[in-house]
Structure 1
Amino acid sequence: MTPASTRRLLAYCLPFLALSLFLSTELAYVNYRISGANRQSQIDTTDLNAHRTTNYFPWESISPTDELIWTDCYSNQQCARLKVPLDYSRPDGASAAIALIRTPSAVPHDSPRYRGPVLINPGGPGGSGVDTVVAAGPLLSTIIGPEFDIIGFDPRGASKPFPLHFTRIQTSEPTTTNAGVARSTPRISFFATRAERQLWSVEGASIASVNSSADALARGWARGIVLGQRAGREDDESLRFMTTDHTARDMLRIMQAHGREKLQYWGFSYGSILGATFAAMFPQHVGRLVIDGVMDAEDYYATKWSKNLFDADKTWMSFIDGCVAAGPTACALYAPTAAEILAKVDKIYASLRARPIPVHTETASGLIDWTTVRSVIFASLYSPYAFFSTGARILADLYQGNGTSLFEILQQQPAFQCACDPAEYQFERLPEALFGLLCNDGARISPEYEDVVTHYERLRETSSWADVWAFLRMPCLDWPDFPKNHFQGPFVANTSFPLLLVGNTLDPVTPLWAAKKMSEGFTGSVVLAQDSPGHCSIASVSLCTFKYIRQYFLDGILPEPGTVCPVDIPLFPPTPSTDPGFADAVEDQAQVRFVDALSAADRNLFEAAKELVELSPIRFPRGI
């Protein structure tokens, strides 16, 4: 990191899997600032409030229409809601509404240089493309190219609006943390009120790991059964139409509403399932299609989620080995050998198992326990270049018995607030969207507890991180018995233009193996590997990777098979030093020299990619 960048307060969202009881209902994302200059994690609440006010937009003011009608929204962007069939087998029946946002191209649409829209999906299932483009649309435009519109959309995914009888006790500006599948309708909701959902979430927060207690796995199984049953009880007959193949059809409608017949798309994580599904269903409509952080579609549609963690332990070891290589000035948990650092982490685990750490600050009180730390470490594997340095400082504090630094980060999650104005929360994120899409898409699975135990034991053979992954499929255990007649493969197609698949050499949840497997089914497709840990290419900065992606979108040129791209930022950024004799200062100057040697265009691309890494828009799905 350069001295200038270390002085900035860098924002990004770190998702967690229902971390601890002191967090409020939406325990998935934590907003925080990292200040490298003082090596402390800080929050500027004034800035956060200003951000919420700036990013507010009244989506209820847009009526869904059959044609795209764009309205100015947020900051220099445009929003719309497109009407599509709820059930494509009955196109004249009930409709759904898809919320869209675009960062307009810098090139006029009537110019021969204009290349049309590129749709973005950040994964999930249920991630908000609207939120992604609100936060990162200009950055994505810089990477892909100014000749394209960048389009984010919230997939269909909810069952009914909230009733109109909430009370509200805060008086600040309208809430604008509209994350997740939200502004598109209908919506997936298993709860009659927000308060009911909050109580359910808090109750489950202590079992984010199935190793958190002797009965955690059994409790997770029981909660999964309850959620599946609630899904059926609260369904208003729209839930069955929340599937990936319907979303793929929605994407085709979105492109056609732009006057285009070929899809241009960049999908991350679950977005790779959506992209591969589109390509297999509509091979003749593929224009430029990038899937990044590629999942095994067969494993996904079988509702196994059993092949994701093949490289998770290796990704964790990249933290350990990287800390040794970085030295004590860059990694606060440093020890001379990997074995010694692992021993420190084991000591932290054992201490928290025996006795959680009570924490008191000026604004809150709570505790840090084993489950919290376990979940935070796994979440950090998604965004190692953004979080490993801070994670090392947190673990170093915990090793000394101090949980304050972690607690101060986690407590910034906004407290749950009741509301009397339904408009305030009608477009907020509902975590049920994840399970609605996942369970509707996938094959039915056995609800027997013994079979859940067997699945978990097999998952443990794959990775030591099975304990934080095992919950994802549990709401499907007693899911409504909808017909499974939607598209589930095969993923074999001769597409009208070959796909580009991108994968990291050490991805904790989408191993590079899956990208190579999926590529075999799509004629002419190429796998581009990025030599880095983290989830999806935007976990790090690689000019090589992003230039290939831009070249693919702009000119249709694929990299040579077997291409592996290096990355251009350190895993543990050196701490700036006032003493030029320190090695870290020399390394920091080396990074400065690297950037200074870039052309103006490459420097612009580098800075946009670096900011995108710090935003970390690809999120760890929460539990049950």
Structure 2
Amino acid sequence: MAPVAFVGRVAISCCLIFVALWFFVAEESSPARYKFQGEEHQSHRACSNSALAKDDFSWDSISPTEELIWTDCYSDNQCARLKVPLDYAHPDGGSAAIAMIRIHSGVPHNSSSYRGPILLNPGGPGGSGVDLVARAGAMISTIVGPAFDIVGFDPRGIGRSTPRVSFFTTRAEREIAFVSDPQFGSMNASTDALSRAWARGILQGQLAGERDDGSLRFINTDHTARDMLKIVQAHGHEKLQYWGFSYGSVLGATFASMFPENVGRLVIDGVVDSENYFATEWSNNLLDTEKAWMSFVDGCVAAGPHGCAFFAPTAAEISSNVDKVYTSLRERPIPVRTDTSFGVVDYTMVRATIFRTLYSPYAQFPRLAQALADLSQGNGTALFKMFETPVFECACDPSRFQFESLREAGSAILCNDGKRISPEYKQVLAHYQNSKTVSDWADVWEFIRMPCLAWPEFPKTHFQGPFIANTSFPLLLVGNTADPVTPLWAAKKMSQGFAGSVVLTQDSPGHCSVSAVSLCTQKYIQRYFADGTLPEPGTVCPVDAPIFPTSHSAADADVHEQSTFAVSAADRELFEAVRELAKTSNFGFPMGI
């Protein structure tokens, strides 16, 4: 690794600029079906649509304490750093600091209406709860109601929490490693794509072990669940109120299994099969991926030529046209330059981009349709810009980026959590071949477990199940009918282990309930937090907005406007919050669930 480190030092001294292509950028979603009499309502953003590029204040200015001490941050929010044991088996040893952000409840804490904090986890593993609340906390607060504080935290090892997971000695070394050989891509891109991913995974696992400062083994879901209990207790409570998305469902299920008597209200949304996760299998996530993809194909046909830029009269024709795009890019990738960066649109980028849009179809499918239409004409700019990120920025002051989220951090959680897997290439090949029998999208999913191939051999003494508990209050599990990476089947399976729990189904494609606009779903979640009301078993909620814009003529629109109905002010506020959340949602990244 010496040549890489040398290049990294040169990159820092010269401040070379590199492009990182693989991050989620949300965009406007389709117009909603709901309209409100007497008003021309405009979409507005309650907060920034993207993750925070840099902190607006110094997290170093907050000393970690065992009692919560809140400091004003990010305009009208508050931040804190909670001191917790690094190793709960030896609590008097070293410590970790959990970075937290909150949106204060709409009622005073001494009010009889105050209901305490709701903790959030956006998934990943490796997602930042601080970023989530800074970006979308106001919308989540509107959904659950003013009686609660909305609290986001960066799990140990992640983002602004310390100690942090890092496999690289410099930011430039990391950037060079990921840009020269991107982490995400298709295993079908070339004859050696899988073997290169295998080799890259071996290197990442080796780097993790070689550069471990002694804290890496304590970055796992077991310890994070214990951290959550500490957070709750630091608020003066004993029972957790929680909304976890994607991997956050593993964290929630782990907490409920470890501390069943400490469950207050617990929602897991976009539910992972935790047994499969802890086995490091990742083998049943894609059961409904084809349904999610076909929602694009069928939705484009239904939208017509005015509603979908990639329209064709039949699903078969659209599928054929996508295959033509794939073939064309295999033969001749397209160079792209934008105002801020440049790169090459190739087969692997298109596959990865399409897969990512399946997470947020209501926000991304119209853009994808236009991008595919442009690609069919040889123009790759629109697709390139769908996940374009700011160029890499060198800094002479290392403290400027000391709390940025790092791409490798999620690997620490899932590899520490999961069962050891064989580093033998033939075993990796066998796993991939088996995954392809489950879904054609296995080519862009197989990378997830690769860093675990040569992971350090830490003791596997942490909680890994069973996920069976009679909790002090029943869980609410939420699943979509066409979730690309957490199939509804998994929610139903996990529910069987938690007495009295209920699965709420949302009839939509997309990852987690907040990827679509459904007042029905969010009202059930609101009532669950507010008064503990669970939906009836078997409840299925519809969505209230189309995937693609409707193609009414002006005359049709006038008639449609006259036929709209009035709803309450509370429903309108809720609808706007849910719609904004669907536009900004990127739950599940960076690792994929």
Same fold flag (TM > 0.5): yes
- CA distance 1:54–1:187, change in 2 (3 Å): closer
What displacement does 1:367 show? Answer: 2.0
Q: Which residue of 1 aligns with 2:221?
A: 244
Q: Distance in 2 between matches of 1:586 and 1:23?
A: 51
What displacement does 1:362 show? Answer: 5.2
Of 290, 293, 305, the residue aligned with 1:316 is: 293
Q: Which residue of 1 aligns with 2:77?
A: 77
1:591-606 to 2 correspondences below 5 Å: 594=564, 597-606=566-575
SS of the equivalent of 2:481 reads strand
Q: Are 2:132 and 1:132 equivalent residues in the alignment?
A: yes
What displacement does 1:571 show? Answer: 1.0
Q: Are 2:305 and 1:328 equivalent residues in the alignment?
A: yes
What displacement does 1:314 show? Answer: 1.1
Deviations 1:114-149 (A, max 9, x none): 000000000000100000000111110000111000
Q: Which residue of 1 aligns with 2:490?
A: 514
Q: Are 2:322 and 1:345 equivalent residues in the alignment?
A: yes
Q: Distance in 1 between matches of 2:51 and 2:586?
A: 16
Deviations 1:360-413 (A, max 9, x none): 4455443211111111100000000001011101001111111122234444x1
Q: Which residue of 1 aligns with 2:554?
A: 580
Are 1:23 and 1:202, in contact at CA under 8 Å, matched by a contact in 2?
Answer: no
1:159-170 to 2 correspondences below 5 Å: none
- CA distance 1:51–1:543, change in 2 (3 Å): closer
Of 542, 547, 555, the residue aligned with 1:566 is: 542
Matched AA of 2:285: N
- CA distance 1:23–1:619, change in 2 (3 Å): farther
Are 1:240 and 1:482, in contact at CA under 8 Å, matched by a contact in 2?
Answer: yes
Of 203, 206, 221, the residue aligned with 1:229 is: 206
Q: Distance in 2 between matches of 1:240 and 1:279?
A: 22
1:529-544 to 2 correspondences below 5 Å: 529-544=505-520
1:185-224 to 2 correspondences below 5 Å: 185-205=162-182, 208-224=185-201
Are 1:24 and 1:414, in contact at CA under 8 Å, matched by a contact in 2?
Answer: no
Matched AA of 2:63: S
Q: Which residue of 1 aligns with 2:142?
A: 142
Q: Are 2:406 and 1:430 equivalent residues in the alignment?
A: yes
SS of the equivalent of 1:457 reads helix
Matched AA of 2:238: E
Q: Which residue of 1 aligns with 2:87?
A: 87
1:167-182 to 2 correspondences below 5 Å: 181-182=158-159
Are 2:411 and 2:452, in contact at CA under 8 Å, matched by a contact in 1?
Answer: yes
SS of the equivalent of 1:187 reads coil
Q: Which residue of 2 aligns with 1:448?
A: 424
Q: Which residue of 2 aligns with 1:154?
A: 154
Q: Distance in 1 between matches of 2:340 and 2:107?
A: 49
Q: Distance in 2 between matches of 1:50 and 1:483?
A: 38
What displacement does 1:113 show? Answer: 0.4
Aligned-residue CA RMSD (Å):
2.2
Are 2:205 and 2:452, in contact at CA under 8 Å, matched by a contact in 1?
Answer: yes
Are 2:481 and 2:505, in contact at CA under 8 Å, matched by a contact in 1?
Answer: yes
1:448-487 to 2 correspondences below 5 Å: 448-487=424-463
Q: Distance in 1 between matches of 2:252 and 2:48?
A: 34
Q: Which residue of 2 aligns with 1:103?
A: 103
What displacement does 1:586 show? Answer: 6.6
Q: Which residue of 2 aligns with 1:358?
A: 335
Are 1:265 and 1:275, in contact at CA under 8 Å, matched by a contact in 2?
Answer: yes
Q: Are 2:566 and 1:607 equivalent residues in the alignment?
A: no
Are 1:84 and 1:250, in contact at CA under 8 Å, matched by a contact in 2?
Answer: yes
Are 2:309 and 2:369, in contact at CA under 8 Å, matched by a contact in 1?
Answer: yes
Q: Distance in 2 between matches of 1:486 and 1:94?
A: 18
Q: Distance in 1 between matches of 2:119 and 2:17?
A: 34
Q: Distance in 2 between matches of 1:488 and 1:198?
A: 33
Q: Which residue of 2 aligns with 1:28?
A: 22
Normalising by the residue count of structure 2, what TM-score does the alignment of the two structures yield? Answer: 0.91
Q: Are 2:391 and 1:391 equivalent residues in the alignment?
A: no
Matched AA of 1:128: S
What displacement does 1:208 show? Answer: 1.1
SS of the equivalent of 1:80 reads strand
Deviations 1:483-525 (A, max 9, x none): 0000000000000000000000000000000000000000000
**Count of residues paired in the alignment:** 562
Q: Distance in 2 between matches of 1:408 and 1:23?
A: 18
What displacement does 1:58 show? Answer: 1.5
Are 2:19 and 2:390, in contact at CA under 8 Å, matched by a contact in 1?
Answer: no
Q: Which residue of 2 aligns with 1:617?
A: 586
Matched AA of 1:111: S
What displacement does 1:53 show? Answer: 8.6
1:274-285 to 2 correspondences below 5 Å: 274-285=251-262
What displacement does 1:418 show? Answer: 1.5
Of 270, 277, 285, the residue aligned with 1:300 is: 277
Are 1:519 and 1:527, in contact at CA under 8 Å, matched by a contact in 2?
Answer: yes
What displacement does 1:27 show? Answer: 3.7
What displacement does 1:417 show? Answer: 1.6
Are 1:324 and 1:336, in contact at CA under 8 Å, matched by a contact in 2?
Answer: yes
Q: Distance in 2 between matches of 1:239 and 1:557?
A: 40
Q: Distance in 1 between matches of 2:51 and 2:505?
A: 35
- CA distance 1:206–1:298, change in 2 (3 Å): closer
Are 1:27 and 1:622, in contact at CA under 8 Å, matched by a contact in 2?
Answer: no
What displacement does 1:209 show? Answer: 1.0
Q: Distance in 1 between matches of 2:476 and 2:162?
A: 31
SS of the equivalent of 1:81 reads strand
- CA distance 1:192–1:218, change in 2 (3 Å): same
Are 2:267 and 2:477, in contact at CA under 8 Å, matched by a contact in 1?
Answer: yes
Deviations 1:324-378 (A, max 9, x none): 1111111011111000111110100000011111234455443211111111100
Matched AA of 1:314: K
SS of the equivalent of 1:222 reads helix
Matched AA of 1:122: P
1:6-25 to 2 correspondences below 5 Å: 24=18
What displacement does 1:75 show? Answer: 2.1
Deviations 1:458-481 (A, max 9, x none): 000000100000000011011000
Q: Distance in 2 between matches of 1:364 and 1:550?
A: 42
Q: Distance in 1 between matches of 2:196 and 2:303?
A: 41
Q: Are 2:481 and 1:505 equivalent residues in the alignment?
A: yes
- CA distance 1:533–1:49, change in 2 (3 Å): closer
- CA distance 1:25–1:229, change in 2 (3 Å): farther
Are 1:286 and 1:495, in contact at CA under 8 Å, matched by a contact in 2?
Answer: yes
- CA distance 1:49–1:103, change in 2 (3 Å): closer
What displacement does 1:87 show? Answer: 0.2
Are 1:23 and 1:410, in contact at CA under 8 Å, matched by a contact in 2?
Answer: no
- CA distance 1:83–1:496, change in 2 (3 Å): same
Q: Distance in 1 between matches of 2:118 and 2:230?
A: 14
Are 2:470 and 2:498, in contact at CA under 8 Å, matched by a contact in 1?
Answer: yes
Structure 2, unpaired ranges of 5+: 1-15, 32-46
- CA distance 1:424–1:287, change in 2 (3 Å): same
Are 1:322 and 1:571, in contact at CA under 8 Å, matched by a contact in 2?
Answer: yes
Matched AA of 1:273: V
Are 1:143 and 1:550, in contact at CA under 8 Å, matched by a contact in 2?
Answer: yes
What displacement does 1:616 show? Answer: 1.4
Q: Distance in 1 between matches of 2:29 and 2:546?
A: 17
Q: Distance in 1 between matches of 2:53 and 2:223?
A: 34
SS of the equivalent of 2:243 reads strand
Normalising by the residue count of structure 1, what TM-score does the alignment of the two structures yield? Answer: 0.87
Matched AA of 2:369: A
Are 2:29 and 2:363, in contact at CA under 8 Å, matched by a contact in 1?
Answer: no
Superposition misfits of 4+ residues, deviation over 6 angstroms: 47-55
Q: Which residue of 1 aligns with 2:9?
A: none
- CA distance 1:561–1:206, change in 2 (3 Å): closer
Are 2:354 and 2:368, in contact at CA under 8 Å, matched by a contact in 1?
Answer: yes
